[in-house]
Structure 1
Amino acid sequence: MKRIAIIVGTVYGGAEFLAEQAAQLLKARGYLCELHTEPKLNAVLADDPDVWLVISSTTGQGDIPDNALPFFIDARDRFPLLTDKIIAVIGLGDSSYENFCGAGKQFYELLQELQGKPLTDPLWIDACETLEPETVALPWLEAHFPPLS
C-alpha cells in the first residue's frame, strides 16, 4: 500500500478543507494517508511516506502560511533527501496578485532540491477562475492516483 503524507499550508481553512477531501478520495482508492495540518518534519519523516503531497494556499507577497512555515524552514535547513519519494503540489492562489501561488511554487522548488521525483506538473488553482478548488483538484488527483488493487 502506498503511503501519502498530505502537508497542508492554510490561513483561512480553504487548503485544509481541500486536503481533507483529498485524503478521503485517496483513502477510498486504497492509499494510506496521513494529514499534516500543523506539519512537523520529524512527524512526516517518521511516517516514511512514498508520496509527499503539499496542498497550500499563499499569503501576503507569495509567502508560505504560518502553520507550514516552520516545516518549510526545517526541511530547507535539514535537507532530508527524498531520493526515493514522489512529490506532488497543489497550490491555491489568486492571479490578481503578483506572486500567484507563491507558497506552492516555493514548496515545489524545495521538494525538487531535496531530490523528490515529481509525479507530474504542479496544479495551480486560481481563485479568480475557480470558486471551489475541489472541482479542479479532485479530478486531478483521480487522474494521477489510480485505485490500488
Structure 2
Amino acid sequence: MLKINIFIGTVYGNATFVAEQVLELLQMLGHQAQICQTPKVEQVTDCDAVLFISSTTGQGDIPPELEQFYLQLNDQFPLLDKKPFGVIALGDSSYGETYCGAGRKLFELLQELQGKAVKPLLEIDACETLEPEKVAIPWVKEWLARV
C-alpha cells in the first residue's frame, strides 16, 4: 500500500472531478491517497508518490489555488530523491503554445526537484475529450504499476 498525495489546480472544476475519480480508484486499490486541499511543501515529501492534476488558465498559467504552492516549491526547493511523480494536464489545444502550460511547468519543476517521472506528462485536450477522466484513469493505472 502506497501513500499518494494528489494536488489539484482547477479553473472550472474539471481537474477536481478528475482528481476525485482518481482518488476513488486509488483507495479502491488499497492505497492511502488524499487530495491536498490546502497544499503544504511537506505534503510532497511525506508520501511515497505525488500526483498533480491541473488545468491551465490565462496564458499557460497555473490556477491560483495551486500557483502559490508551485512558487513555494520553487523557493524552498525540497529535493524529492527520485520520488515517483505524475502530472495530468488539462488544456485546450486551440490556445496554441500555451496549451497545457500549467502541467508542463509542474512537470518541469518536479524533475528539477529530482523527482522520478515514471510516465510522461499526460496532456488531455478539451477539444478532443469531453470526459477527461476516461483518459486519466487508464493512465493512472499504468502510472501506478510503475511506481
What interval of TM-score do these two structures reach, taking the shorter chain for normalisation? over 0.9
**In the alignment, is residue 50 of structure 1 matched against residue 64 of structure 2?**
no
Alignment RMSD: 1.2
Structure (1 or 2) with the greater helix fraction: 2
2 CA distance for matches of 1:124 and 1:21?
17
Instruction: Report Cα offsets for 1:62-85 as digits up to 9, x if no partner.
Output: 000000011000000000000141
Q: Does the CA contact (< 8 Å) of 2:86 and 2:143 recur in 1?
A: no
Q: Which residue does the alignment assign to 2:121? A: 122
Contact kept in structure 2, 1:8 and 1:68, CA below 8 Å: yes
Q: Which residue matches 2:131? A: 132
Deviations 1:46-67 (A, max 9, x none): 7x11111000000000000000
Match of 2:93 among 95, 105, 114: 95
Is 1:141 the counterpart of 2:140? The answer is yes
Q: What does 1:9-24 align with in structure 2 at a 5 Å threshold?
A: 9-24=9-24
Other structure's SS at 1:70 match: helix
* TM-aligned CA deviation for residue 145 of structure 1: 1.6
Q: Deviations over 1:106-127 (max 9, x none)?
A: 0000000000001110110000
Q: Which residue of 2 aligns with 1:109?
A: 108
Pick from 58, 61, 84 the counterpart of residue 59 of structure 2: 61
Q: Is the contact made by 1:16 and 1:37 (CA closer than 8 Å) also made in structure 2? A: no
Match of 1:76 in 2: 74
CA–CA separation in structure 1 for the residues paired with 2:44 and 2:129: 33
What is the DSSP-based 3-state SS (H/G/I as helix, E as strand, rest coil) of the residue aligned with 2:123? strand
CA distance in 2, matches of 1:66, 1:135: 26
Q: Within 5 A, what are the aligned runs for 1:24-39? A: 24-39=24-39
Helix, strand or coil for the counterpart of 2:94?
coil
Runs of 4+ in 1 over 3 A off after TM superposition: none
Structure 1 residue 103: deviation in Å?
0.2
User: What's the CA shift for 1:24?
Assistant: 0.4
- Equivalent-residue separation in structure 2 for 1:84 and 1:100 (angstroms): 27
**Structure 2 CA distance, aligned partners of 1:85 and 1:21?**
23
Deviations 1:124-148 (A, max 9, x none): 00000000100100111122224xx
Whole-Å separation in 1 of the counterparts to 2:123 and 2:44: 26
5+ unaligned residues in a row in structure 1: which ranges? none
1:6 Cα deviation (Å)? Answer: 0.3
Deviation at 1:37, TM superposition (A): 3.0
Structure 2 spans left out of the alignment, 5+ residues? none
* Distance (whole Å) between structure 2 residues aligned to residue 66 and residue 114 of structure 1: 21
